[in-house]
Structure 1
Amino acid sequence: MFLAWLAEQATGPDVMVERRVHGLVPLTGHSALTASWMLAEQLGSAARTPGDLIAAMAADRRRTVVVLPDLHHAAAPDAIEELIGALARFKQVRLIVETREVSAGLLALAPAVMDLEAAQWRDEERYAVWAASAPSAESDALPGSKPATPDLDDPSSVCRAEPLQVTALYELSADAHGGVRAAWLRAGGALTRPCPPAERALVLLAALGDDADPRLASELQKLTDGAGWTVHWKRTRGDINPPWPGPALALGIGVGKTSGSVAVIDHQGIVRLIESEDGRAQSRLPQVVPGASAVTFRRDGDMAVLDGRGHLTLQQSPTVPPSTGLSSLLETEAKPLGQLLAAVEESATAVACVGDGLAWGNGAGSVQVAMLDGDMVGVTREALHKGAVTGVTGLELPEGAMLIYSGGQDGRVRVWAPHRAPMTRALRERDCGVTALSAAQTPHGPVLVIGWEDGLVEYSAVEAEPAGRFFRPGAPVRSVAALENGNLIVGTDEMLVCLTPC
C-alpha cells in the first residue's frame, strides 16, 4: 500500500524531477528475466536479458528511480536480488524495494531500511483496525485462484495464457516444445506486455526458427487474424534453409537497376544482398567494410556504404553486370554518386540516396543534401536535431523535388524540403531515440517507417495522422525498410522479418 501510494504521487505529469519515479515493477510472479523485460519497456529500452538491462542503465547517466514491490512474492527472488545488487552499484540509480525479510545479500548493499512495523511509522489504533480486517498470509492465495497451467506445446494455449506464467514455465523447461519455447524466449518482452493473443501469435511466428515443428507456423498464422500484419517471410538466428543472413544492423533498398534487392549489413561489416520478395540470398560485396553502419542504392546500381569512421565509400552492386565494350569506354571516371560522396567533408552518421541527390546526417544534429548541377555539386544544410542524427530517408516528389526525413538521439523525427524552412515542430517525438528510418512510395500512397530505441516499429501513411500500424519484435530494432509494394522489413540481432499490412 505504501509503495503504491508513493508511485502514484511520484509519476504524475507535474511531479518535480527530484521526486519522479521512472520505473515500477510489482515483482509478484516475476523472474529476473521478466522483471528486466518490464523495467526495460518503462525505461525506453529493448533489453532482452538482465545483463542487457544492466548495460543499458550503466550507459544512461540520467537520474533513475525504480520501485520494486513484493520481492517476497517473486518467482525467483534470489535472481532478482542479484539484479538489484548490480543496479544498486550505479550512482545515478535509486532503488526502493519492498520485502518481508531483508536478506544478507540486500543488507550487504548497506540500504536505508524502513521497517513499517516500527511504532514511529504507524498509528496504533488504525493499525489494529487494519490488522483485524486484513487477510492472513495463508488466505492470500484463494482456492482456485491460480490460473490453469497452459499447454506449452500448443501455440493457442500459450498465446492466451498469463504471459508471466508461460515465461516462468519455459525458463524451467528443458524441452524444446516443438520450437515454441525458443521463439517465446527470443521475442522477450513483446510477449509479456499487455496485448491481445493475435499480436502474441504474430510475434511468435516472426521469431519461430526453421527447426521448429513445421505445423506450428500454419497454426500461428491462423491465430494472427486481427493483428494487423501477416508474416510474408522470415529468417531467424540459426536458420539453414534458407540461411539466416546474420544480424541486420542496417538495410538498404534497391532501386532502378537493383530493384528487388535488399542489402543487409551484419556485425562484421559484410554487406549481403537478398531478394526482397522471399529473402533468398543473391550476392555480397567482395570486400568487408569495417564498422559498416548504413547502406544506400542509387538508380544506376552504385551503392554508398557508411563505415565505422563515418566515411562513405562507393561500391558497385554485384547484382548489376559491369559495363563492357563501347558503353564501358563511354563511362566517365567520375560517377554521379562518386561526385556526391566527394561533397561529404565530415564524419557522417546516417545516409540515404533520394532521387538524384544524397542526404546525410552528422553527430551534431545537422542534415545535408547534395545535388548535382552539371559538373558542380550544391549542398544544402539544416540543423534539425540535438545530438547525433541516427537515421535519414526521403521521398522523391514530382519535378525533382524531395522530402527529407531524419531521426535522432533526441527522440525526434523531422521533415524538411531542401531550400525551404523545415517544419518548426517534430513530425514524431518520443522519450527514446530513433534507431532507423525508411520511406517509400507504395500503391496506397507514401509511407514512413520508424524504428525506436525501445523496440517499437511504427508504420504510417505520410499524409495521414500519426496513428498507424505498430510492431514489436521483442529485440532491439536495428533496421527497417519500407518496400514499394507496401511490405515492411524489420531487422534485429536475432531475426529478419518481412511483414505485409492487412
Structure 2
Amino acid sequence: MDTATRWMDTTTRWIPPLGAGRRPAGRALLALLDDARAPRVCQVTGPAGIGKTRLLTWLATACSDPATPAAQRPDAAVSLAGATVRSATWSIAARLGVWARTPAELVAGLRAADRPWLLFLWDLNRSAEPEAVAELLVGPLSEVPRVRMVVESPGALPVAGQPAVLALDEARWTDAGRFASWYDRRRAGSPFSAEQVYPSPGLALLAAKVPAGAMLPAVGPVGPVGPVGPVGPLGPDVPAAWWASLPDEVRPAVGALTAAVRPLTRQEWAVLADPAAVERAVDRLPADSPAGDTWWLPVGPLRQVVTAGAAPLDPTDVARALAATVPRAADGAPDLLSADSDRLGLLLGQCVRAGMAEQLLEDPLFIACADPLAVAAAFGSHGDSPLRTAWQVAGPALLGEDAGASRAEILRVRLLEGGTDHTFPPVSGAPWHAEWFCGPAEADAPLVAAALGRGAFDGRILVADVTGGVHLVDLATGRLLDRRALVGPADLTALTCHPDGTVAAFGPDGEVRLLTGDLRLPPPATGRWTASAELTAVGDGTGTVHWFAPGEACAEPLHRGPVTALSGVLLPGDEAKARSLVVSGGADGRVRAWRPGLPPMPGSIAERARAVVSVSLTNTPSGLFLAMAWEDGLLRAVPVDRNGPAVDVRLGTPVRTVLATAPGDVVCVLAEGLARISLPAPVSFGATEGTDGEHL
C-alpha cells in the first residue's frame, strides 16, 4: 500500500485530520519517512504563524497509532520550547531510553546502540538558547549515521549533509481550495478574504477575529501583509487591523502578554491583567498552542503592533503578582509542595527577567518544586554554586519526575553528596527519603559494583571501584571505614559476599576471582559466567541460571540473552535446594524468580525494554523485599508479596548496583558514590508468613 493510499485508509490506522489545506504537506512528510533514499534530516521551515508547530504535532500524533508503519514511528517526539542544551539533551535521552547528561554522551549512546532512530523535534526557536541547541545538539545528532530527524526551525540548521526542506510558505504545500473552505468556516464577518491570508493558518486565524466593518490599515499595493503570505487586493496589515478592532478595555489584557516569558494559561493570564478583560481577550486572540489552552505573543509582527500600542508592564510588578498566587501554609510561609510546578517555573522566569531571581535560586525546596525546564534556563545565566551543581547532576531525574516532594528528595541526595544539606531536611509526603551519601574512596576512580557484607564483614558494604580496589563503608552511617581493604581485578563486573564472609569478584573476562575465603565453581559448559548471587548461583551468557550445593547442581534457562544480575535468599526449611530462592535479571529487561529443583515461576516479576543491571532480594521479619535497577537509571523497590506498592526512583545517573538491606531500605551504588534511601512506614511488606516465598 503506497503512502497516498495509506493516508485514506482509516480501517487499520487512525490519522487525525489536518486542516487549513495542509494535506499536501502531511502527505509529503509521510512519504519522506517511507523513503529510505531520502535525506536523513527534514527541516520544516517558514515564517511565524505559518503552522510549523501544528504540522509537527500533527505528525507526532499521526505516527503514534499502533498501526503506524515502523519507518514512520518516532522513537522520540519532543518540544524544545523553554529548553536549554542540557535540558533538551535530558528530554530526548529519556524518550529514547538512553542515559545521557551531555550531547556528546547522547550521541555516543545512539552510536553504540547501532539501530535506527527517528526523532521529531519542534519549537527550536522557542528554546531558551536556540542557536546553542541547534549547533551543540541538533547538529551532532544529525551526524549519527542511523539517526533520522524531522526538525521544525525557521532558520538554517547546522546539520550533516543537505536536508530536505519543507518551506510551508510555498504554495505547493497548502491546497488553496481546502484552505479557503477551512478559513470561511471560521471567518464569520471578517473583511479579509482567504486569498489575502493564504497560505498562513496563523494569519488566517487572526484575520477571522476581525469583525465586519473594521477599518483596514493599508500598507500599499505591494509588500507583506503581516507575519506571512502575499499581499491581498487591498494590501491590508492584518495585525494592525486586528489591534485597531480590539475594544479599548481589552487592550491592556492583550498587552500583558508581551511581559510574559512563555505562553500563559487562562488562569495565569488573569494574574497579570483584569480577569474580565482576559475572558474577553480569549475570544478575540487565537490560542498560541495547538491544543488551544495557552495564549502568547511570540516574536513577530503582532507582538510589534501590540508593543507599540499598549502600555508596558513593570517586570517587577509581574513577578510580585505571580508570587502572591503561591499557596501559603498556616504560618504564612510559602507552601511550595502544594504549589503548581508550572506556576513556580513561570514565577522564576519572570523573576529572572526582572533581575530578582537570586533568592529563589538559593532555595533548594523552591528549585525542586519549580518546573525543571524553567530552573535549567534560570541556572544557565546564574553563577556556580553548590546548589546549582547538585541540581545539574540530578537534572535528568528531576526532569522526569512530576511530584515536587520526590524531586526534593532527589535533590537532597545530591546535596548530601556535596555536604550542603544542613538547610534542607527530609521532605514530608515523599515516597522515599535520602539517609546518607558516601563519595568514592579515591578520586577519579568511579565505583562499579558492591555487595552487602556478611560474616566477618557484617554491618558493612563492600564497594569496588574501576581500579579493583574494594573499600568498606559503614551500612548505618555511610562513613568510609577502610580504603582498599581487598583488591580485585580492574574493571570487575560483579562483587558478592557469601554468608561465611567469602568475597568473590567477576573479572571483565568472566572469570571468578576469590578475594577472601573459599569458593569453588565449575567452569561454564559454554561461554562464561556473567552474574553471581550470594547463594552459590551464577548466570551465563545464554540466559541460564546455575545453582550449586555440595554434591548437587541444577540449571534453568530464564532469559533471552545473557543473565546480567542475580540475588538470592535462603527460606525456612531443611533441604538446601528447597530453601533457595533465586531472583535473576537479564539483558532482555526481565526480572524472574526460580526455586532450584522446581519449574521457574511463571511470568516476570518485572519487565522493561532495558537491560537489568542489578537485583537484590532480602528476607526480613516483615517479608521479602526486592530492589531492581535497569541500565537507564531506574531503580524499583517492591515488597515481593505484591500487596504493597512499588516505588520507582531515579537519581540522575545510572545505578551500578542495588542492595536491599532491610524492609524499605536500599543502598544505591552510582559511579560517583553510594546513597542509602528508605521508604517510609506506610509501605506494607506483607505478613511474616510471606517469607516462605509463596507469593513469588
Superposition TM-score tier, normalisation by shorter sequence: 0.7 to 0.9
Q: Is the 8 A contact 1:258 1:299 kept in 2?
A: no
Cα drift, residue 261 of structure 1? 1.5
The superposition leaves residues 239-270 of structure 1 with CA deviations (integer Å, 9 ceiling, x where unpaired) of x9xx8895332110122342212111112221
Partner of 1:322: none
1:195 matched to 2:195? The reply is no
1:307 matched to 2:516? The reply is no
Paired residues for 1:149-188 under 5 Å = 149=348, 150=357, 151-176=360-385, 179-188=386-395
1:207 matched to 2:414? The reply is yes
Of 198-207 and 274-283, more deviation after overlay is shown by: 274-283
Give the letter for the 1:122 counterpart: T
- CA distance in 2 between counterparts of 1:245 and 1:260 reads 27
Partner of 1:90: 144
Cα distance change, pair 117–429 in 1 and its aligned pair in 2 (3 A): same
Cα distance change, pair 212–272 in 1 and its aligned pair in 2 (3 A): closer
1:351 matched to 2:532? The reply is yes
Partner of 2:260: 145
- CA distance in 2 between counterparts of 1:211 and 1:451 reads 24
How many residue pairs get aligned? The number is: 463
Paired residues for 1:212-251 under 5 Å = 212-213=419-420, 217-222=421-426, 224-236=427-439, 247-251=446-450
- CA distance in 2 between counterparts of 1:452 and 1:466 reads 21
Cα distance change, pair 360–154 in 1 and its aligned pair in 2 (3 A): same
Partner of 2:614: helix, strand, or coil?
strand
Structure number with the higher helix fraction is 2
Q: Is the 8 A contact 1:432 1:453 kept in 2?
A: yes
- CA distance in 1 between counterparts of 2:149 and 2:122 reads 10
- CA distance in 2 between counterparts of 1:86 and 1:171 reads 21
Partner of 2:633: helix, strand, or coil?
coil
Partner of 1:328: none
The superposition leaves residues 5-29 of structure 1 with CA deviations (integer Å, 9 ceiling, x where unpaired) of 1111212333232221110110111
Q: Is the 8 A contact 1:295 1:305 kept in 2?
A: yes
Cα drift, residue 494 of structure 1? 2.3
Q: Is the 8 A contact 2:627 2:658 kept in 1?
A: yes
Cα distance change, pair 134–447 in 1 and its aligned pair in 2 (3 A): farther
The superposition leaves residues 165-215 of structure 1 with CA deviations (integer Å, 9 ceiling, x where unpaired) of 211222332231xx21111011121112242211111011101156554xx
TM-score calculated relative to the size of structure 2: 0.63
Cα drift, residue 343 of structure 1? 5.1
Partner of 1:385: 559
Cα distance change, pair 348–134 in 1 and its aligned pair in 2 (3 A): farther
- CA distance in 2 between counterparts of 1:420 and 1:39 reads 43
Q: Is the 8 A contact 1:186 1:474 kept in 2?
A: yes
Corresponding residue to 2:162 among 96, 105, 110: 110
The superposition leaves residues 466-491 of structure 1 with CA deviations (integer Å, 9 ceiling, x where unpaired) of 84112110111111110035411011
Q: Is the 8 A contact 1:449 1:481 kept in 2?
A: yes
The superposition leaves residues 51-74 of structure 1 with CA deviations (integer Å, 9 ceiling, x where unpaired) of 111111111122211110011111
Partner of 2:342: none
Corresponding residue to 1:444 among 614, 619, 622: 622
- CA distance in 2 between counterparts of 1:447 and 1:118 reads 62
- CA distance in 2 between counterparts of 1:212 and 1:488 reads 20
Partner of 1:266: 465
Partner of 1:478: helix, strand, or coil?
strand
- CA distance in 2 between counterparts of 1:254 and 1:43 reads 36
Partner of 1:329: none
Cα distance change, pair 419–428 in 1 and its aligned pair in 2 (3 A): same
1:73 matched to 2:126? The reply is yes
Paired residues for 1:306-385 under 5 Å = 306-316=506-516, 335=518, 337=519, 339=520, 341-342=521-522, 344=524, 346-354=527-535, 358-373=536-551, 378-385=552-559
Cα distance change, pair 417–286 in 1 and its aligned pair in 2 (3 A): closer
Partner of 1:57: 110
Gapped regions of structure 1 (runs ≥ 5): 318-334
Cα drift, residue 459 of structure 1? 0.1
Cα distance change, pair 123–304 in 1 and its aligned pair in 2 (3 A): same
Give the letter for the 1:9 counterpart: A
Give the letter for the 2:260 counterpart: S
Corresponding residue to 1:402 among 580, 588, 591: 580
Partner of 1:320: none
TM-score calculated relative to the size of structure 1: 0.86
Cα drift, residue 123 of structure 1? 2.6
1:32 matched to 2:85? The reply is yes
Q: Is the 8 A contact 1:442 1:483 kept in 2?
A: no
1:3 matched to 2:56? The reply is yes
Cα distance change, pair 279–194 in 1 and its aligned pair in 2 (3 A): closer
- CA distance in 2 between counterparts of 1:195 and 1:246 reads 33
- CA distance in 2 between counterparts of 1:109 and 1:229 reads 48
Partner of 1:51: helix, strand, or coil?
helix
- CA distance in 1 between counterparts of 2:623 and 2:155 reads 60
Q: Is the 8 A contact 1:191 1:203 kept in 2?
A: yes
Q: Is the 8 A contact 2:362 2:387 kept in 1?
A: yes
Partner of 1:484: 662
Partner of 2:204: 132
Cα distance change, pair 416–303 in 1 and its aligned pair in 2 (3 A): same
- CA distance in 1 between counterparts of 2:486 and 2:449 reads 18
Q: Is the 8 A contact 2:466 2:490 kept in 1?
A: no
- CA distance in 2 between counterparts of 1:287 and 1:143 reads 63
Q: Is the 8 A contact 1:202 1:221 kept in 2?
A: no
Partner of 2:597: 419
Gapped regions of structure 2 (runs ≥ 5): 1-53, 184-193, 208-225, 228-238, 240-253, 262-345, 349-356, 681-696
- CA distance in 2 between counterparts of 1:23 and 1:486 reads 34
Partner of 1:456: 634
- CA distance in 1 between counterparts of 2:613 and 2:448 reads 10
1:471 matched to 2:649? The reply is yes
- CA distance in 2 between counterparts of 1:44 and 1:465 reads 29
- CA distance in 2 between counterparts of 1:87 and 1:141 reads 38
Cα distance change, pair 469–199 in 1 and its aligned pair in 2 (3 A): same
Give the letter for the 2:403 counterpart: P
Cα distance change, pair 417–23 in 1 and its aligned pair in 2 (3 A): same
Partner of 1:327: none
1:433 matched to 2:611? The reply is yes
- CA distance in 1 between counterparts of 2:260 and 2:439 reads 38
Structure number with the higher strand fraction is 1
- CA distance in 1 between counterparts of 2:364 and 2:624 reads 36
Corresponding residue to 1:298 among 498, 505, 514: 498
The superposition leaves residues 271-295 of structure 1 with CA deviations (integer Å, 9 ceiling, x where unpaired) of 1121111122233344341221111
